[in-house]
């Protein structure tokens, strides 16, 4: 075969190889399907819903693909909520307020049982806890058939929750000065007389027997009661029918006041 013909064949082979390599290099190696974010949402309300990002919107505004609310307006909104009692007059805003990581600790709620039986499971996420807790709360019911007030959607930790031990409760009081007032003084007046101000959402932590006993004598133990002047300790010289030397706490957080 003539040498010139060999050179042409070699040149043609080189061009073919370069073209093939350029085709290979043009193929994208990062081809993949972009995952669409998907939100968990509440389904109880007639007009509103809240998602696990902490936003509240109406059903029309919700993204039909992601089921997420538009990221506009206030995130973790507590509109219509009493932050002292941790109760709200709206289910959706109760959930929105509750999912705020500054209010609800993930490490605690994942240990909370969904129901009282020992065989009951625990919540899988903060949103699941908030959605369930805001819907059902026996502390908001009176006579088992009526709500105590319009603020009956509550997200406070149940008092018997395994994640709400004394040590953890004390941790949530870190940086807070607990001051015991004299007989007849309100919480607000005691704080002001010491040059301090009351922290509303911490009073609910003090409204538990185990915590009260660390700051008061409670010689005759604790007694669940109803009243706006609690938590408190009954004076030693009180009439016997008023339970002297007992510490009082309320099971209805909405009754707490400063």
Residue 49 · residue 216 · CB < 8 Å: no
Say which residue, 144 or 202, is predicted with more confidence: 202
Residue 1 has pLDDT above 90, yes or no: no
Beta bridge pairs of residue 222 = 247
125 lies in the same domain as 94:
yes
133 lies in the same domain as 213:
no
pLDDT in tens, 45-65: 788 999 999 999 998 999 999
232 lies in the same domain as 178:
yes
Confidence of residue 166 (pLDDT cuts 50, 70, 90): low
Mean pLDDT over residues 11-33, rounded? Answer: 49
147 lies in the same domain as 200:
no
132 within domain boundaries: yes
Say which residue, 2 or 238, is predicted with more confidence: 238
Beta bridge pairs of residue 87 = 82, 154
164 within domain boundaries: no
Q: DSSP code of 41?
A: B
- Give me the domain span that covers residue 247: 169-255
188 lies in the same domain as 118:
no
Residue 238 has pLDDT above 70, yes or no: yes
pLDDT of res. 191: 85
Phi/psi at 137 (5° precision) = -155, 105
pLDDT in tens, 56-110: 999 899 999 999 999 988 999 999 998 877 889 999 999 999 999 999 989 888 8
Residue 92 · residue 56 · CB < 8 Å: yes
User: Which candidate, 64, 60, 76, 77, places its Cα nearest to that of 38?
Assistant: 64
105 lies in the same domain as 184:
no
pLDDT of res. 189: 87
232 within domain boundaries: yes
127 lies in the same domain as 200:
no
pLDDT of res. 176: 78
Mean pLDDT over residues 116-122, rounded? Answer: 75
pLDDT of res. 140: 61
87 lies in the same domain as 112:
yes
237 lies in the same domain as 192:
yes
212 lies in the same domain as 115:
no
- Which whole-number Å values give the CA distances from 223 to 105, 156, 179, 212, 228, in the listed order? 29, 20, 21, 11, 15
How high is the mean pLDDT of the chain?
Answer: 78
Number of domains in the chain: 2
- Report how far residue 99's alpha carbon sits from residue 75's, in angstroms, rounded to the nearest whole number: 10
174 lies in the same domain as 129:
no
Secondary structure class of 4 (helix, strand, coil): helix
pLDDT in tens, 201-213: 677 778 888 888 8
């Amino acid at each position: 075969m003539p040498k010139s013909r060999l050179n042409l064949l070699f040149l043609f082979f080189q061009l073919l190889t370069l073209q093939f390599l350029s085709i290979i290099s043009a193929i994208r190696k990062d081809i993949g399907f972009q995952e669409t974010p998907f939100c968990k949402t509440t389904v109880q309300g007639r007009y509103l819903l809240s998602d696990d990002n902490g936003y509240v919107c109406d059903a029309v505004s919700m993204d039909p693909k992601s089921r997420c609310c538009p990221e506009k307006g206030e995130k973790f909104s507590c509109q219509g909520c009493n932050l002292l009692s941790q109760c709200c007059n709206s289910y959706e805003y109760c959930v929105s307020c509750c999912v705020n990581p500054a209010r609800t600790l993930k490490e605690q709620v994942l240990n909370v049982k969904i129901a009282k039986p020992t065989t009951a499971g625990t919540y899988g996420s903060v949103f699941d806890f908030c959605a369930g807790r805001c819907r059902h709360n026996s502390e908001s019911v009176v006579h088992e058939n009526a709500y105590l007030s319009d603020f009956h959607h509550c997200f406070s930790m149940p008092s018997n929750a395994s994640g709400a031990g004394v040590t953890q409760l004390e941790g949530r009081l870190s940086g807070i000065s607990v001051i015991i007032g004299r007989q007849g003084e309100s919480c607000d007046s005691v704080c002001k007389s010491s040059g301090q101000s009351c922290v509303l959402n911490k009073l609910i932590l003090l409204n538990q027997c185990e915590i009260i006993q660390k700051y008061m004598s409670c010689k005759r133990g604790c007694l669940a009661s109803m009243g706006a002047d609690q938590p408190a300790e009954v004076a030693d010289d009180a009439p016997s029918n008023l339970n002297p030397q007992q510490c009082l706490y309320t099971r209805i957080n909405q009754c707490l006041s400063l």
